[in-house]
Protein backbone atom coordinates (compact mmCIF):
# COMPACT_ATOMS: atom_id res chain seq x y z
CA UNK A 1 0.00 0.00 0.00
CA UNK A 2 1.36 3.43 -0.94
CA UNK A 3 1.36 6.53 1.26
CA UNK A 4 -1.68 7.84 -0.63
CA UNK A 5 -3.55 4.78 0.57
CA UNK A 6 -4.13 3.73 -3.04
CA UNK A 7 -3.17 0.56 -4.86
CA UNK A 8 -3.42 0.55 -8.63
CA UNK A 9 -1.10 -2.16 -9.96
CA UNK A 10 -3.84 -4.76 -9.94
CA UNK A 11 -5.61 -6.83 -12.57
CA UNK A 12 -8.77 -7.51 -10.58
CA UNK A 13 -10.36 -6.59 -7.28
CA UNK A 14 -12.56 -9.32 -5.81
CA UNK A 15 -15.24 -7.94 -3.49
CA UNK A 16 -16.63 -10.50 -1.06
CA UNK A 17 -14.98 -13.44 0.68
CA UNK A 18 -17.62 -16.15 0.67
CA UNK A 19 -17.33 -19.35 -1.38
CA UNK A 20 -17.58 -17.45 -4.68
CA UNK A 21 -14.93 -14.92 -3.71
CA UNK A 22 -12.51 -17.51 -2.35
CA UNK A 23 -12.93 -19.67 -5.44
CA UNK A 24 -12.36 -16.63 -7.69
CA UNK A 25 -9.24 -15.70 -5.72
CA UNK A 26 -7.89 -19.22 -6.14
CA UNK A 27 -8.45 -19.14 -9.91
CA UNK A 28 -7.03 -15.61 -10.19
CA UNK A 29 -3.89 -16.87 -8.49
CA UNK A 30 -3.70 -19.86 -10.82
CA UNK A 31 -4.07 -17.46 -13.75
CA UNK A 32 -1.16 -15.34 -12.46
CA UNK A 33 -3.39 -12.30 -12.10
CA UNK A 34 -2.49 -9.53 -9.66
CA UNK A 35 -5.49 -9.55 -7.40
CA UNK A 36 -6.79 -8.79 -3.94
CA UNK A 37 -9.87 -10.05 -2.17
CA UNK A 38 -11.67 -7.62 0.15
CA UNK A 39 -13.97 -9.11 2.80
CA UNK A 40 -15.58 -7.13 5.61
CA UNK A 41 -15.40 -10.05 8.04
CA UNK A 42 -13.58 -13.33 8.26
CA UNK A 43 -13.25 -15.29 4.99
CA UNK A 44 -16.09 -17.73 4.46
CA UNK A 45 -19.16 -15.52 4.33
CA UNK A 46 -22.38 -17.38 5.13
CA UNK A 47 -20.40 -20.61 5.60
CA UNK A 48 -19.45 -19.25 9.01
CA UNK A 49 -23.15 -19.06 9.94
CA UNK A 50 -23.86 -22.64 8.83
CA UNK A 51 -23.39 -25.43 11.34
CA UNK A 52 -23.23 -28.42 9.01
CA UNK A 53 -23.07 -28.83 5.22
CA UNK A 54 -24.01 -32.06 3.47
CA UNK A 55 -24.50 -30.94 -0.15
CA UNK A 56 -20.98 -29.97 -1.21
CA UNK A 57 -19.26 -32.61 -3.40
CA UNK A 58 -16.41 -34.43 -1.69
CA UNK A 59 -17.79 -33.89 1.81
CA UNK A 60 -20.56 -36.15 3.03
CA UNK A 61 -20.73 -33.85 6.04
CA UNK A 62 -18.56 -30.87 6.93
CA UNK A 63 -18.89 -27.99 9.37
CA UNK A 64 -19.37 -24.63 7.66
CA UNK A 65 -16.39 -23.08 9.43
CA UNK A 66 -14.17 -26.02 8.44
CA UNK A 67 -15.12 -25.72 4.77
CA UNK A 68 -14.50 -21.96 4.97
CA UNK A 69 -11.04 -22.62 6.42
CA UNK A 70 -10.20 -25.15 3.71
CA UNK A 71 -11.34 -22.79 0.95
CA UNK A 72 -9.32 -19.95 2.45
CA UNK A 73 -6.20 -22.10 2.71
CA UNK A 74 -6.65 -23.24 -0.89
CA UNK A 75 -6.93 -19.65 -2.16
CA UNK A 76 -3.89 -18.55 -0.15
CA UNK A 77 -1.89 -21.51 -1.48
CA UNK A 78 -2.16 -19.88 -4.91
CA UNK A 79 -1.15 -16.47 -3.60
CA UNK A 80 -4.48 -14.89 -2.70
CA UNK A 81 -4.13 -11.65 -0.74
CA UNK A 82 -7.13 -11.25 1.56
CA UNK A 83 -7.80 -7.86 3.11
CA UNK A 84 -10.35 -7.32 5.86
CA UNK A 85 -12.13 -4.08 5.08
CA UNK A 86 -15.62 -2.85 4.20
CA UNK A 87 -16.21 -1.86 0.57
CA UNK A 88 -18.44 1.18 0.27
CA UNK A 89 -18.55 1.68 -3.47
CA UNK A 90 -17.43 0.45 -6.87
CA UNK A 91 -17.03 3.28 -9.40
CA UNK A 92 -16.23 2.98 -13.10
CA UNK A 93 -13.84 5.66 -14.36
CA UNK A 94 -13.85 7.45 -17.71
CA UNK A 95 -10.94 5.33 -18.91
CA UNK A 96 -12.94 2.15 -18.28
CA UNK A 97 -11.07 1.12 -15.12
CA UNK A 98 -12.60 0.86 -11.66
CA UNK A 99 -12.08 2.57 -8.32
CA UNK A 100 -13.06 0.54 -5.27
CA UNK A 101 -13.43 2.58 -2.10
CA UNK A 102 -13.48 1.21 1.44
CA UNK A 103 -14.67 2.59 4.76
CA UNK A 104 -11.09 2.71 6.06
CA UNK A 105 -10.16 5.19 3.35
CA UNK A 106 -8.29 2.80 1.10
CA UNK A 107 -8.77 2.98 -2.65
CA UNK A 108 -8.02 0.15 -5.07
CA UNK A 109 -7.87 0.62 -8.83
CA UNK A 110 -8.04 -2.12 -11.45
CA UNK A 111 -9.34 -2.70 -14.98
CA UNK A 112 -11.74 -5.36 -13.67
CA UNK A 113 -13.81 -6.02 -10.57
CA UNK A 114 -15.41 -9.32 -9.61
CA UNK A 115 -18.34 -8.74 -7.23
CA UNK A 116 -19.08 -11.76 -5.05
CA UNK A 117 -20.56 -9.95 -2.06
CA UNK A 118 -23.69 -12.11 -1.88
CA UNK A 119 -26.63 -10.74 -0.01
CA UNK A 120 -28.25 -10.47 3.36
CA UNK A 121 -31.35 -12.38 4.48
CA UNK A 122 -33.83 -10.13 6.25
CA UNK A 123 -33.82 -11.02 9.94
CA UNK A 124 -36.76 -11.14 12.31
CA UNK A 125 -34.73 -9.27 14.88
CA UNK A 126 -36.15 -11.21 17.83
CA UNK A 127 -34.38 -12.67 20.89
CA UNK A 128 -32.84 -16.06 20.17
CA UNK A 129 -32.56 -15.62 16.40
CA UNK A 130 -28.84 -14.95 16.34
CA UNK A 131 -28.14 -17.36 19.21
CA UNK A 132 -29.72 -20.31 17.41
CA UNK A 133 -28.57 -19.47 13.87
CA UNK A 134 -27.29 -22.74 12.43
CA UNK A 135 -28.81 -24.64 15.37
CA UNK A 136 -32.42 -24.61 14.30
CA UNK A 137 -32.71 -21.15 12.77
CA UNK A 138 -32.15 -21.22 9.02
CA UNK A 139 -32.61 -19.02 5.97
CA UNK A 140 -32.17 -21.79 3.38
CA UNK A 141 -34.48 -24.79 3.07
CA UNK A 142 -32.41 -26.55 0.41
CA UNK A 143 -29.29 -26.20 2.58
CA UNK A 144 -30.75 -27.36 5.88
CA UNK A 145 -34.04 -29.15 5.26
CA UNK A 146 -32.53 -32.63 5.41
CA UNK A 147 -31.48 -32.05 9.02
CA UNK A 148 -35.12 -32.01 10.10
CA UNK A 149 -36.37 -35.42 8.96
CA UNK A 150 -39.61 -36.40 10.69
CA UNK A 151 -39.53 -33.29 12.89
CA UNK A 152 -41.98 -30.44 13.42
CA UNK A 153 -40.76 -27.14 12.03
CA UNK A 154 -42.01 -23.65 11.19
CA UNK A 155 -41.59 -21.31 8.24
CA UNK A 156 -42.00 -17.56 8.72
CA UNK A 157 -43.19 -15.44 5.80
CA UNK A 158 -46.00 -15.02 3.31
CA UNK A 159 -44.42 -14.44 -0.10
CA UNK A 160 -43.47 -16.81 -2.90
CA UNK A 161 -40.20 -17.81 -1.24
CA UNK A 162 -41.82 -18.73 2.06
CA UNK A 163 -44.60 -20.74 0.42
CA UNK A 164 -42.23 -22.54 -1.97
CA UNK A 165 -39.82 -23.40 0.81
CA UNK A 166 -42.61 -24.62 3.10
CA UNK A 167 -43.72 -27.00 0.37
CA UNK A 168 -40.13 -28.14 -0.19
CA UNK A 169 -39.64 -28.84 3.52
CA UNK A 170 -42.58 -31.25 3.63
CA UNK A 171 -40.40 -33.87 1.95
CA UNK A 172 -38.40 -34.03 5.20
CA UNK A 173 -40.51 -32.74 8.08
CA UNK A 174 -43.43 -34.50 9.72
CA UNK A 175 -45.30 -31.20 9.89
CA UNK A 176 -44.66 -27.64 8.71
CA UNK A 177 -46.31 -24.58 10.23
CA UNK A 178 -46.38 -21.47 8.04
CA UNK A 179 -46.52 -18.39 10.26
CA UNK A 180 -47.69 -15.17 8.65
CA UNK A 181 -48.37 -11.85 10.29
CA UNK A 182 -51.37 -11.04 8.06
CA UNK A 183 -54.64 -12.78 7.18
CA UNK A 184 -53.68 -13.42 3.55
CA UNK A 185 -50.54 -14.49 1.72
CA UNK A 186 -48.61 -12.46 -0.84
CA UNK A 187 -47.58 -15.55 -2.78
CA UNK A 188 -48.96 -16.30 -6.23
CA UNK A 189 -52.35 -18.01 -6.48
CA UNK A 190 -50.84 -21.21 -7.90
CA UNK A 191 -48.41 -21.55 -5.01
CA UNK A 192 -51.14 -20.84 -2.49
CA UNK A 193 -53.39 -23.50 -3.98
CA UNK A 194 -50.62 -26.07 -3.66
CA UNK A 195 -49.90 -24.97 -0.10
CA UNK A 196 -53.52 -25.25 1.08
CA UNK A 197 -53.83 -28.68 -0.54
CA UNK A 198 -50.83 -30.09 1.33
CA UNK A 199 -51.95 -32.00 4.45
CA UNK A 200 -48.53 -31.60 6.09
CA UNK A 201 -48.75 -27.77 6.13
CA UNK A 202 -50.80 -25.69 8.57
CA UNK A 203 -50.99 -21.91 8.26
CA UNK A 204 -51.01 -19.80 11.41
CA UNK A 205 -52.58 -16.48 10.42
CA UNK A 206 -52.22 -13.01 11.94
CA UNK A 207 -49.23 -14.07 13.97
CA UNK A 208 -45.64 -12.97 14.47
CA UNK A 209 -42.71 -14.65 16.22
CA UNK A 210 -41.53 -12.66 19.24
CA UNK A 211 -38.83 -14.98 20.60
CA UNK A 212 -36.97 -18.17 19.75
CA UNK A 213 -35.93 -20.38 22.67
CA UNK A 214 -34.18 -23.70 23.08
CA UNK A 215 -31.37 -25.53 24.79
CA UNK A 216 -27.76 -26.45 23.87
CA UNK A 217 -29.15 -28.92 21.35
CA UNK A 218 -31.01 -26.27 19.38
CA UNK A 219 -34.41 -24.63 18.95
CA UNK A 220 -37.30 -25.98 21.02
CA UNK A 221 -40.03 -23.35 21.07
CA UNK A 222 -41.35 -20.18 19.47
CA UNK A 223 -43.14 -17.43 21.35
CA UNK A 224 -45.98 -16.02 19.26
CA UNK A 225 -48.19 -12.94 19.33
CA UNK A 226 -51.46 -12.60 17.49
CA UNK A 227 -51.38 -9.35 15.52
CA UNK A 228 -55.18 -9.06 15.49
CA UNK A 229 -56.00 -9.36 19.19
CA UNK A 230 -52.61 -9.24 20.93
CA UNK A 231 -52.92 -12.67 22.53
CA UNK A 232 -49.78 -14.72 23.06
CA UNK A 233 -48.97 -18.42 22.72
CA UNK A 234 -46.09 -20.82 22.20
CA UNK A 235 -45.33 -23.38 19.51
CA UNK A 236 -43.05 -26.39 19.97
CA UNK A 237 -40.73 -26.83 16.96
CA UNK A 238 -37.17 -27.95 16.40
CA UNK A 239 -36.49 -25.62 13.50
CA UNK A 240 -37.61 -22.29 12.10
CA UNK A 241 -36.95 -21.19 8.52
CA UNK A 242 -37.18 -17.45 7.95
CA UNK A 243 -38.13 -16.13 4.50
CA UNK A 244 -39.19 -12.54 4.89
CA UNK A 245 -36.80 -11.05 2.35
CA UNK A 246 -33.28 -11.12 0.94
CA UNK A 247 -31.29 -8.09 -0.14
CA UNK A 248 -28.50 -8.64 -2.69
CA UNK A 249 -25.48 -6.45 -2.00
CA UNK A 250 -25.61 -5.01 -5.50
CA UNK A 251 -25.95 -1.46 -4.17
CA UNK A 252 -22.15 -1.36 -4.00
CA UNK A 253 -22.22 -0.64 -7.75
CA UNK A 254 -22.40 3.15 -8.03
CA UNK A 255 -23.80 3.47 -11.54
CA UNK A 256 -26.66 1.99 -13.50
CA UNK A 257 -26.46 -1.73 -14.25
CA UNK A 258 -28.97 -4.25 -15.56
CA UNK A 259 -30.86 -5.98 -12.76
CA UNK A 260 -34.20 -7.55 -11.99
CA UNK A 261 -36.98 -6.06 -9.88
CA UNK A 262 -35.39 -7.28 -6.64
CA UNK A 263 -31.96 -5.83 -7.42
CA UNK A 264 -30.24 -9.07 -8.45
CA UNK A 265 -27.52 -8.50 -11.03
CA UNK A 266 -28.08 -9.70 -14.59
CA UNK A 267 -24.97 -11.15 -16.25
CA UNK A 268 -24.08 -12.78 -19.54
CA UNK A 269 -22.79 -16.34 -19.83
CA UNK A 270 -19.31 -15.13 -18.84
CA UNK A 271 -20.67 -13.54 -15.66
CA UNK A 272 -20.04 -10.03 -16.95
CA UNK A 273 -22.61 -7.40 -16.02
CA UNK A 274 -23.91 -4.71 -18.35
CA UNK A 275 -20.90 -2.64 -17.23
CA UNK A 276 -17.84 -3.79 -19.22
CA UNK A 277 -15.15 -5.16 -16.91
CA UNK A 278 -17.49 -5.64 -13.96
CA UNK A 279 -18.23 -9.30 -13.28
CA UNK A 280 -20.57 -10.83 -10.71
CA UNK A 281 -20.81 -14.31 -9.22
CA UNK A 282 -22.78 -16.06 -6.51
CA UNK A 283 -25.89 -15.15 -4.59
CA UNK A 284 -26.30 -11.58 -5.88
CA UNK A 285 -26.65 -12.78 -9.48
CA UNK A 286 -29.99 -13.58 -11.15
CA UNK A 287 -30.28 -17.37 -11.23
CA UNK A 288 -32.57 -20.25 -10.34
CA UNK A 289 -30.92 -21.39 -7.10
CA UNK A 290 -28.30 -20.09 -4.69
CA UNK A 291 -26.07 -22.82 -3.32
CA UNK A 292 -22.38 -23.17 -2.51
CA UNK A 293 -21.95 -25.24 -5.65
CA UNK A 294 -23.55 -22.62 -7.90
CA UNK A 295 -21.48 -19.88 -6.24
CA UNK A 296 -18.16 -21.59 -6.94
CA UNK A 297 -19.36 -22.52 -10.45
CA UNK A 298 -20.15 -18.88 -11.17
CA UNK A 299 -16.80 -17.82 -9.74
CA UNK A 300 -14.86 -20.30 -11.86
CA UNK A 301 -16.46 -18.97 -15.03
CA UNK A 302 -16.05 -15.36 -13.93
CA UNK A 303 -12.37 -15.64 -12.97
CA UNK A 304 -11.45 -17.29 -16.27
CA UNK A 305 -13.55 -14.72 -18.14
CA UNK A 306 -11.69 -11.92 -16.33
CA UNK A 307 -8.41 -13.37 -17.56
CA UNK A 308 -9.67 -13.45 -21.17
CA UNK A 309 -11.14 -9.94 -20.86
CA UNK A 310 -7.79 -8.58 -19.69
CA UNK A 311 -5.97 -10.34 -22.54
CA UNK A 312 -8.37 -8.86 -25.08
CA UNK A 313 -8.04 -5.42 -23.51
CA UNK A 314 -4.26 -5.63 -23.68
CA UNK A 315 -4.37 -6.76 -27.30
CA UNK A 316 -6.60 -3.83 -28.28
CA UNK A 317 -4.41 -1.30 -26.49
CA UNK A 318 -1.35 -2.48 -28.37
CA UNK A 319 -2.95 -2.01 -31.81
- What is the DSSP code (8-state) at residue 131? T
What distance in Å separates the CA atoms of residue 166 and residue 201, rounded to the nearest whole number? 8
Note whether 246 and 119 are within 8 A (CB): yes
Catalytic residue among 11, 23, 144, 298: 144
Catalytic residue among 66, 85, 140, 160: 140
What distance in Å separates the CA atoms of residue 40 and residue 83, rounded to the nearest whole number? 8
Note whether 21 and 119 are within 8 A (CB): no
b (16+ CB within 10 A) / e for 114-124: bbbbbbebeeb
Cα–Cα distances in Å, from 10 out to 3, 35, 82, 195? 17, 6, 14, 51
Note whether 105 and 5 are within 8 A (CB): yes
Beta-carbon-side half-sphere exposure of residue 169 (alpha carbons within 13 Å): 36
Q: Chain centroid to CA 223: how far?
A: 28
Contacts of residue 32, defined as CB under 8 A and 6 or more positions apart, other chains included, come to: none
Catalytic residue among 11, 143, 283, 298: 143
Q: Is 144 a catalytic residue?
A: yes
What distance in Å separates the CA atoms of residue 33 and residue 303, rounded to the nearest whole number? 10
Radius of gyration of the chain (CA): 22
Would you name the residues annotated as active-site residues? 140, 143-144
Amino acid sequence: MTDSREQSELDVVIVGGGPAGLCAAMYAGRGMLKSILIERGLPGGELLNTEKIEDYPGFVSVLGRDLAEKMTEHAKAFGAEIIQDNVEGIHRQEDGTFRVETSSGNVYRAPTVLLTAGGTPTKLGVPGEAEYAGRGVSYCAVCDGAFFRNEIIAVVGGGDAAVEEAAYLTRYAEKVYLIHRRDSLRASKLLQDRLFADPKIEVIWDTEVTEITGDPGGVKELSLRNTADGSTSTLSVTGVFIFIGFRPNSDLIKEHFDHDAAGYVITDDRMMTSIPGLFAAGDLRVQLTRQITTAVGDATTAAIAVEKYLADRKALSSV
